[in-house]
Amino acid sequence: MSKTRVLLVDDSALIRRAVRPLFDSHPNFEVCGEAVDGREAVETAPHLQPDLIVLDLSMPVMTGLEAAPLLLKILPNVWLILFTAHDLPEVQRLSLGAGIHAVVLKSNGAHHLIAQAEALVARLKQGAFACGSD
């Protein structure tokens, strides 16, 4: 079985350095690229062909919420997780409207992100997915 290709999008190099090894060491995932903001993600995603994109919310140039609909237009079958520090009901609502499949709080840690990514991929492979956030 092929690995799920992951694009990490966060303006914090520290976050990318913390998350990347967790995905790379997982048997079902491989990081195919990184981007520092939503615009770079939109520009590179067509070339990288990720299956899953992990987006930060607050980034310069283009936020994760702004990038999500554009990414889905370019890659309609890509799965999106918002990995954010913002624990607000408004973020959940806006994420749903932007087409994001799951929201994971950074305060829960990167291991929770991996667990959510596994659960999302499993649901999608079983065909039991309805667009929304967890």
Do residues 48 and 23 make contact, with C-beta atoms less than 8 angstroms apart? Answer: no
CATH says 4-126 is which class? alpha beta
Q: How far is CA 63 from CA 24, 25, 106, 111, 124, in A?
A: 25, 28, 16, 23, 25
In this structure, how many other beta carbons lie within 10 angstroms of the beta carbon of residue 86?
16
- What local confidence, expressed as pLDDT, does residue 99 receive? 94
In the structure, what pLDDT confidence band is assigned to residue 41 with cuts at 50, 70 and 90? Answer: very high
Tens digit of pLDDT for each residue in 74-93?
999 999 999 999 888 889 89
Distance from CA of residue 112 to its chain's centroid?
Answer: 13
Domain ranges of the chain: 4-126
Find all residues with CB under 8 Å of 22, minimum gap 6, and list them: 110, 111, 113, 114
Tens digit of pLDDT for each residue in 19-36?
999 999 999 999 999 999
Tens digit of pLDDT for each residue in 89-129?
889 899 999 999 999 999 988 889 999 999 988 887 776 54
Whether the pTM exceeds 0.85: the reply is: yes
